[in-house]
Amino acid sequence: MAQTSSLKSEPLVAGGESAEAKAVAGVIAAGRASAARHWVPATSGNFSVRINARTIAITRSGVDKGNLLASDILIQPLGEKLLPGSSAEAELHTALYSERPELGAIFHVHSPAATVLSRLALAEGSLRLTGWELQKALVGVRTHEATVDVPVFANDQDISALSGRVLARLAQPAGDAIAAPGYLLAGHGVYAWGATESDAARHLEALETLFAFELSYRRFTP
Ligand SMILES: [Zn+2]
């Protein structure tokens, strides 16, 4: 079957919109929401939404995520060379989509609580969240009594090497904890994902809020 990147020839989804146009709109909405919360300062962060099994829509490098235009979104085939203008971190998206067919959206921000708390948690290699009602916003978590494991990685400018470490760690079971739908990069920020754009957005907001809770709690506990 012929593959095309043309908006006009994409199959229509419910509501008469093409899957590609819907994904591009999802990326733009996620960027705007994160910018409104001051999670993507100075053009940082990147956002992607899956179009189909082989293709994603993803933000290009160096653009203000609060004012994204459709022309700021790249239509990136999975398993192929990154397109010109791609973000340095695009491989962290493409590799994860290739590994996990169930993922529909991946959002990455340099939000304050994630960026600070990740440095405090780096030595342990993971952040364990428990006792918070809000953790029930994360997929698979039914009680505040559960323990949620958020992997923490050292930051690295070698994105291919970092991506390899992330995939290897995510393939491991979280032991007696529930694996969070995301991970932290120390001193850098958070990646969060979901089966749909709204799941990824809820996970991102819940995680950043839980990180802020945890950061505040740690100020009062030894
Ligand atoms: Zn980043």
pLDDT tens for each residue of 110-167: 999 999 999 999 999 999 999 999 999 999 999 999 999 999 999 999 999 999 999 9
Q: Would you say residue 5 has pLDDT above 50?
A: no
Of 16 and 176, the one with more pLDDT? 176
pLDDT band of 174, cuts 50, 70, 90? confident
Residue 8 within any structural domain of the chain: no
Residue 6 within any structural domain of the chain: no
Q: Which two structure tokens, joined as six digits, stand for 112? A: 């304050």
Residue 14 within any structural domain of the chain: no
For residue 34, how far is its CA from the centre of ligand 1 (angstroms)? 13
Predicted local distance difference test score (pLDDT) of residue 222: 74
For residue 37, how far is its CA from the centre of ligand 1 (angstroms)? 16
Mean pLDDT of 46-68: 97
For residue 80, how far is its CA from the centre of ligand 1 (angstroms)? 21
Residue 5 within any structural domain of the chain: no
Residue 13 within any structural domain of the chain: no
Nearest to 59 by CA among 71, 73, 69: 73
For residue 123, how far is its CA from the centre of ligand 1 (angstroms)? 20
Predicted local distance difference test score (pLDDT) of residue 110: 98
Predicted local distance difference test score (pLDDT) of residue 11: 56
Going 196 to 198 to 204 to 210, the CA torsion angle's sign is: negative
Binding positions are 108, 110
Residue 12 within any structural domain of the chain: no
Please calculate the CA angle 2-92-49 and round it to the nearest 5 degrees: 50
Residue 4 within any structural domain of the chain: no
Q: Would you say residue 9 has pLDDT above 80?
A: no
Give 75-125 pLDDT, tens digit per residue.
999 999 999 999 999 999 999 999 999 999 999 999 999 999 999 999 999
Give 10-38 pLDDT, tens digit per residue.
555 555 679 999 999 999 999 999 999 99
Contacts of residue 3, defined as CB under 8 A and 6 or more positions apart, other chains included, come to: 54
Pairing of strands 178-179, 147-153: parallel
Predicted local distance difference test score (pLDDT) of residue 1: 37
Of 36 and 5, the one with more pLDDT? 36
Q: How many CB atoms lie within 10 A of CB 3?
A: 8
Which CATH number fits the domain that encloses residue 62? 3.40.225.10
For residue 96, how far is its CA from the centre of ligand 1 (angstroms)? 15
Q: Would you say residue 6 has pLDDT above 60?
A: no
Predicted local distance difference test score (pLDDT) of residue 10: 52
* Whole-number CA gyration radius for the chain: 17
What is the domain range of residue 209? 19-220
Residue 126 within any structural domain of the chain: yes
pLDDT band of 62, cuts 50, 70, 90? very high
Q: How many CB atoms lie within 10 A of CB 173?
A: 8
Total number of domains in the chain? 1
List alpha helices for 79-196, DSSP H. 90-99, 112-121, 159-170
